[in-house]
């Protein structure tokens, strides 16, 4: 997640006295508005729980009223502090930090705690309505959806809730995976745009985990619906013969066999992103990025209109960072959350050849989602490397038995596949490979880019996986 405090504003307190408020943006969108004293309270609680040597330094108090220059300096210091806390695995994943952000989000958006009905979509467009509290966190809502669908407890961790934007053709543009520090109902309603929806989708990358999910009827139906949807939207490449075989399996209601065949197809299990811009292999190239199979796949259109394709393996990325620029508003700050034109970039440092690292930049509104994909790939790789289980990656509260819904809802079977889109095949045939990399060396960065410790995601899989896995 990209945390920033791009602006402050002067507001009137309960007694009429003015105070400075800090607008905390997550992914370029206003998340909450807090006072210095609230952040100081969070800092002191973190110090109490984790010790002064773990928690980063906090901007000191001032006796006198701050000058505009001092307000700006404090804003920068608080932004770095929040980024440092979030980047720390212990602090950023703590209930103290996440509950602070959830409470602040609800207070800022002025949404009272009450019972509401939230609509969550499945990949096939089916709507699942769950009764929740506006103050329910992401895990609560995920459990409510799982309960409504009668998904077993031990399969819940294979799925996640995603914030998406519905496009005109009925497809979905992924914004981000909903996080533990936010309230899904508040997050989606505060955007004030009916195009934003919440969707349930599998959250793992290794297709071997499909076997676990297919063991249960509901898991199989969810995976089947998602696979059909991905084929229909052109995320999975299918030729005419493969399409004929898939449709035949659909007619026989052979869902497992359908998925088995789909697993052999190009881009199975990938998330496809909207067309965007990259500086590789040269600046200003239009690109379609897909994330999956522990890589970012590029289909690049060069200035010559030639299409080239290549992949960047996550195990060869030393680190990555997300940057955003938020234009200052002339009106009341935060009055139109989510409507500003926010420029987001994902840059990763890649091992191109032995002893040569190079930064590759993607300019895309979906940069945050790309970063989340990379991080989850690394997490999954490291869990597998250590012999762990993906089932244990899903942290459940101590008293975390699922609250079973009184009324279950079945996953509807999607309709038969439409005829294949003839325009998709030539794209694949036109593609030529970007320069491939096969050298095994690893070195420390000699990059001149100024990357602060709080600005980038270090990749534990870069050196932790080892040369044989590159």
What pLDDT shows up at residue 458? 67
- Phi then psi for residue 425, to 5 deg, are -65, -45
**Sign of torsion, CA 346 373 85 462?**
negative
Task: Extract the tokens encoding 271.
Answer: 């998330």
- Phi then psi for residue 258, to 5 deg, are -60, -45
For 233-274, where are the alpha helices, taking DSSP H only? Answer: 240-251, 255-263
Q: Name the pTM for this structure.
A: 0.83
Per-residue pLDDT reduced to its tens digit, 208-217? 999 999 999 9
Q: What is the Rg, in whole angstroms, of the alpha carbon atoms belonging to the chain?
A: 23
Name the 3-class secondary structure at 269. coil
Length, in residues, of the chain = 470
Task: Extract the tokens encoding 3.
Answer: 């945390």
Taking alpha carbons only, the member of 280, 278, 458, 424 closest to residue 352 is: 280
Query: Is the separation of the CB atoms in 10 and 19 below 8 Å?
Result: yes
For 153-239, where are the alpha helices, taking DSSP H only? Answer: 184-189, 210-214, 217-232
What pLDDT shows up at residue 118? 97
Question: Residue 191: is it exposed, middle or buried by C-beta count within 10 angstroms (0-12/13-18/19+)?
Answer: middle
What pLDDT shows up at residue 19? 74
What pLDDT shows up at residue 2? 61
User: Dihedral, CA atoms, 76, 77, 79, 82, nearest 10 degrees?
Assistant: 180
Residue with tokens 């035949």: 248
- Phi then psi for residue 69, to 5 deg, are -65, -40
Q: Which helix (H) or strand (E) holds 271?
A: strand 271-272
Taking alpha carbons only, the member of 343, 1, 390, 404 closest to residue 178 is: 1
The DSSP output letter for 149 is H
- Strands 317-325 vs 456-458: parallel, antiparallel or unpaired: antiparallel
Alpha-carbon separation of residue 389 from 104, 142, 180, 210, 394 (angstroms) = 34, 20, 21, 14, 10
**How many contiguous H segments (helices) and E segments (strands) does the chain have?**
13, 18
Query: Is the separation of the CB atoms in 210 and 259 below 8 Å?
Result: yes
Cα angle 248, 253, 256; round to 5: 95
Query: Is the separation of the CB atoms in 35 and 82 below 8 Å?
Result: no
The residues of the chain scoring below 50 in pLDDT are 329-339, 395-402, 404, 424-454, 464-470
Task: Extract the tokens encoding 305.
Answer: 């209109």
- Strands 343-353 vs 317-325: parallel, antiparallel or unpaired: antiparallel
What pLDDT shows up at residue 425? 41
What pLDDT shows up at residue 11? 61
**Sign of torsion, CA 108 109 115 118?**
negative
Residue with tokens 């439409």: 418
What pLDDT shows up at residue 348? 96
In whole angstroms, give the CA distance from residue 279 to residue 321.
Answer: 15
In whole angstroms, give the CA distance from residue 309 to residue 429.
Answer: 11
* Strand ranges for 354-400 from DSSP E: 356-363
- Phi then psi for residue 455, to 5 deg, are -95, -15
Taking alpha carbons only, the member of 39, 72, 33, 82 closest to residue 335 is: 33
Per-residue pLDDT reduced to its tens digit, 144-202? 999 999 999 999 999 999 999 988 877 889 999 999 999 999 999 999 999 999 999 99
What pLDDT shows up at residue 17? 58
What pLDDT shows up at residue 460? 64
In whole angstroms, give the CA distance from residue 329 to residue 7.
Answer: 9
The DSSP output letter for 305 is S
Alpha-carbon separation of residue 128 from 1, 81, 145, 407, 414 (angstroms) = 27, 39, 7, 11, 15
């Amino acid at each position: 997640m990209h945390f920033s405090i791009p602006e402050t504003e002067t507001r009137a307190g309960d007694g009429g006295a003015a105070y400075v408020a800090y607008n905390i943006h997550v992914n370029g969108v206003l998340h909450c508005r807090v006072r210095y004293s609230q952040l100081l309270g969070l800092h002191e609680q973190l110090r109490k729980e984790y010790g002064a040597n773990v928690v980063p330094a906090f901007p000191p108090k001032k006796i006198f009223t701050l000058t505009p220059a001092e307000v700006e300096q404090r804003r920068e210091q608080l932004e770095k502090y929040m980024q440092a806390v979030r980047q720390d695995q212990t602090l950023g994943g703590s209930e103290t930090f996440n509950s602070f952000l959830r409470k602040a989000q609800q207070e800022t958006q002025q949404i009272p705690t009450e019972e509401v009905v939230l609509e969550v979509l499945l990949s096939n467009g089916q709507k699942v309505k769950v009764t929740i509290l506006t103050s329910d966190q992401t895990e609560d809502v995920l459990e409510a959806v799982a309960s409504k669908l009668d998904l077993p407890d031990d399969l819940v961790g294979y799925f996640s809730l995603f914030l998406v934007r519905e496009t005109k053709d009925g497809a979905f543009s992924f914004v981000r995976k909903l996080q533990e520090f936010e309230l899904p109902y508040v997050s989606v309603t505060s955007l004030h745009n009916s195009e934003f929806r919440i969707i349930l989708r599998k959250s793992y990358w290794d297709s071997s985990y499909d076997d676990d999910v297919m063991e249960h009827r509901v898991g199989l139906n969810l995976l089947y619906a998602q696979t059909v949807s991905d084929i229909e939207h052109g995320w999975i490449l299918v030729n005419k013969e493969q399409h004929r075989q898939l449709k035949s399996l659909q007619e026989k209601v052979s869902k497992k066999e359908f998925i088995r065949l789909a697993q052999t197809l190009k881009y199975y299990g990938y998330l496809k992103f909207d067309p965007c811009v990259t500086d590789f292999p040269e600046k200003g190239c239009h690109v379609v990025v897909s994330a999956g199979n522990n890589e970012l796949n590029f289909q690049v259109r060069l200035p010559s209109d030639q299409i080239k394709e290549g992949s960047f393996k996550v195990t060869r990325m030393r680190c990555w960072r997300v940057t955003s620029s938020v234009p200052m508003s002339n009106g009341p700050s935060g009055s139109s959350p989510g409507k500003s034109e926010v420029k987001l970039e994902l840059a990763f440092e890649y091992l191109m050849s032995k002893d040569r690292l190079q930064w590759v930049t993607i300019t895309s509104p979906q940069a945050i989602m790309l970063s989340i994909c990379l991080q989850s790939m690394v997490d999954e790789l490291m869990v597998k490397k250590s012999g762990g289980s993906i089932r244990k990656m899903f942290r459940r509260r101590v008293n975390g038995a699922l609250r079973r819904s009184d009324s279950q809802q079945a996953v509807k079977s999607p309709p038969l596949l439409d005829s294949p889109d003839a325009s998709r095949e030539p794209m694949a045939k036109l593609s030529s490979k970007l320069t491939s990399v096969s050298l095994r060396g690893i070195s420390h960065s000699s990059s001149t880019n100024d990357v602060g410790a709080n600005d980038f995601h270090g990749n534990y899989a870069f050196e932790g996986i080892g040369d044989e896995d590159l």
